[in-house]
């Protein structure tokens, strides 16, 4: 599937932990219709780079919500593993204090459908299931608009943590375009000018800069 930008975000129904301690059996994105969603995948619970990312998104959660954005995390761990990690203090490597949903993609289908699953699986000549590499998620991130369409995606390799401020910048850029009908040039920041999507508009912008 590769690039999902411009396409409907793949639907799913899975178990999740919400509000830091509550189990939900049938979590879906459908509940966020009319809102924006930032959904990010991370490789594993109880690791090193992952908790820095989860805490970083929590620290910016109020800002996301002020922009009508819901944040959702996904990994291939079980919901019980998520719950256990959520009970551990930050100083011990845990993610206690994270309140946005953490989805359990235990059958790997969400990661596969969003094309962020590492490795591959197949049946050999003896009809035994085999896998190449560890079947966990890359650090994929998807910005989904109010109609459920993916408008931005980025996928990092396992060692490379993400910049949450850049995610917020992309939310601002999308909302600026929706509200003003102008496109966002390189290094655009909230409060900057946009460009009209025509030759005269581009020429005017370039003349000013």
pLDDT tens per residue across span 142-179: 999 999 999 999 999 999 999 999 999 999 999 999 99
Q: What average pLDDT does this structure show over 88-115?
A: 97
Q: Each residue of 11-33: b (16+ CB within 10 Å) or e?
A: ebebbbbeebeeebeebebeebe
Determine, yes or no, domain membership for 191: yes
Same domain, 150 and 195: no
85: confidence class by pLDDT, cuts 50, 70, 90: very high
The residue segments making up the domain with residue 171 are 163-209
Considering the domain architecture, whether residues 143 and 181 belong to the same structural domain is answered as no
CA dihedral 152, 153, 159, 160 (to 10 degrees): -20
pLDDT at position 165 is 98
pLDDT of residue 133: 86
**Of 161, 176, 198, which one is at a domain's C-terminal end?**
161
| 47 and 112 assigned to the same domain | yes
With 60 as the cut, is the pLDDT of residue 124 above it?
yes
∠ CA 24-29-30, nearest 5°, is 105
For range 121-128, the mean pLDDT: 91
Give yes or no for residue 38 having a pLDDT over 90.
yes
- Residues of the chain above pLDDT 70, percent: 94
Please identify which of the residues 9, 29, 38, 50 carries the catalytic annotation.
50
**What pLDDT score does 121 carry?**
85
117 and 187 share a domain? Answer: no
Q: Give a yes or no: residue 1 inside a domain.
A: no
Do 67 and 167 lie in one domain? The reply is: no
Same domain, 171 and 97: no
Q: Which tokens sit at 59?
A: 């620290």
Q: Which residues pair with 52 in a beta bridge?
A: none
Overall average pLDDT of the 202-206 stretch: 51
Mean pLDDT of 38-59: 97
User: Residue 201: what pLDDT?
Assistant: 54
Per the structure, how many domains does the chain have?
Answer: 2
Q: What is the pLDDT of residue 197?
A: 78
Higher pLDDT, 122 or 42: 42
The pLDDT of residue 200: 57
Structure confidence at residue 183 (pLDDT): 95
Instruction: Categorize the per-residue pLDDT at 203 as very low, low, confident or very high, splitting at 50, 70 and 90.
Output: very low
184 carries an active-site annotation:
no
Given pLDDT bands bounded at 50, 70 and 90, which one contains residue 129? confident
In the block, tokens 């370039």 appear at 206
């Amino acid at each position: 599937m590769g690039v999902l930008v411009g396409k409907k975000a793949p639907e799913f129904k899975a178990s999740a932990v919400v509000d830091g301690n509550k189990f939900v059996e049938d979590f879906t994105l459908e509940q966020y219709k009319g809102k924006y969603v930032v959904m990010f995948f991370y490789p594993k619970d109880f690791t090193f780079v992952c908790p820095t990312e989860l805490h970083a998104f929590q620290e910016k959660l109020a800002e996301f919500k002020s922009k009508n954005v819901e944040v959702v995390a996904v990994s291939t761990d079980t919901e019980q593993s998520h719950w256990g990690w959520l009970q551990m203090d930050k100083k011990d490597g845990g993610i206690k204090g994270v309140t946005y949903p953490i989805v359990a993609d235990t059958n790997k289908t969400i990661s596969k459908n969003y094309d962020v699953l590492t490795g591959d699986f197949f049946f050999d000549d003896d009809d035994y299931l085999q896998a190449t590499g560890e079947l966990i998620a890359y650090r994929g991130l998807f910005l989904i608009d109010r109609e459920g369409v993916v408008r931005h995606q980025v996928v990092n390799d396992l060692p490379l943590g993400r910049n949450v401020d850049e995610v917020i910048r992309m939310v601002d850029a999308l909302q600026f375009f929706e509200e003003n009908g102008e496109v966002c040039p390189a290094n655009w920041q909230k409060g900057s000018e946009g460009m009209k999507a025509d030759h005269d508009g581009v020429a005017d912008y370039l003349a000013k800069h």
